[in-house]
Amino acid sequence: MRIRSALLAIAAATLASTSSFAADLPARTYTKAPVYAPAPIYNWTGFYAGVHIGAAFGGDDSYATNNPGLTSNSRDASFLGGGQVGADYQFAPNWLVGIEGQISGMSNGDRTFTDGALIARDRSDWLASVTGRLGYTWGPGLIYAKGGVAFRDDNGLSANIPGVTDRKSTGYTVGGGLEYMFAPAWSAKVEYQYYNFDTTSAAFTDGTALSYKDDLHTVKVGLNYHFNWGGPVVAKY
């Protein structure tokens, strides 16, 4: 009996000390598991519209003439600015096809020919194009090539001596660029585009004949807003 009583007393003392120690411990804190946030899936499919600014540079400055006294200036760099609208379709899953219409106003895009008596001037006030484009996307980035039909104003080759001029207002264009989605529904781009309007020729009543290649190189930066797109799409599970 004495042994049993001693054992019971030891057990009671142990229980009491354990309870006292547990009461002194700080309350347990619980941490919530982090919320799973899937990586955004960027979708370029949809319509867009935007603006651009840049510069145009004369292409081939060579010309042919039967007038040894005829000289020509080189086209200076011209400021250009305008807008674009288009639509893209993303497929398979990183490729993109699209169509785009673009128009740019130009300043200081003149080329002048003169021999002192004859003064002829070729001037373009605007450029436009309708192009298809093919691109490769990686997340918010896009690299693309484009090509299609080019247009310009039909100012002709004006001169102070009458003549017959063949100057085309329709040609072709090719180019390419980089575009980046920096915010939901917004992207920025940098683009190179080449315009070719074949050969312009003229025959003046003073006997001067003239022909030259009519082309331009342009570099542009732009901003696009994507309609019916709503920014990055998050995968749902």
Q: Give CA 225 to chain center in angstroms.
A: 11
The proportion of the chain whose per-residue pLDDT surpasses 70, expressed as a percent, equals 78
Task: Give residues with Cβ within 8 angstroms of 17, minimum separation 6.
Answer: none
Per DSSP, what are the bridge partners of residue 185? Answer: none
172-227: pLDDT as tens digits: 999 999 999 998 889 999 999 999 999 999 999 999 999 999 999 999 999 999 99
More confident residue, 145 or 232: 145
**Whether the predicted pLDDT of 109 surpasses 70:** yes
If one counts every other C-beta atom within 10 angstroms of the C-beta of residue 155, the result is 15
- Asked if the model's pLDDT at residue 4 lies above 70, the reply is no
pLDDT at 13: 54
Among 14-23, 59-68, 209-218, the range scoring the smallest mean pLDDT is: 14-23
Contact of 115 with 157, CB cutoff 8 Å: no
First CA to last CA distance, the chain = 68
Mean pLDDT along residues 14-32: 54
The residue that leads in pLDDT, 183 or 55, is 55
Output Rg (C-alpha) for the chain, integer angstroms. 36
163 against 41, higher pLDDT = 163
Mean pLDDT of the chain: 85
pTM above 0.95? no
Does the pLDDT of residue 7 top 70, yes or no?
no
Mean pLDDT of the region 139-155? 94
pLDDT value for 187 = 96
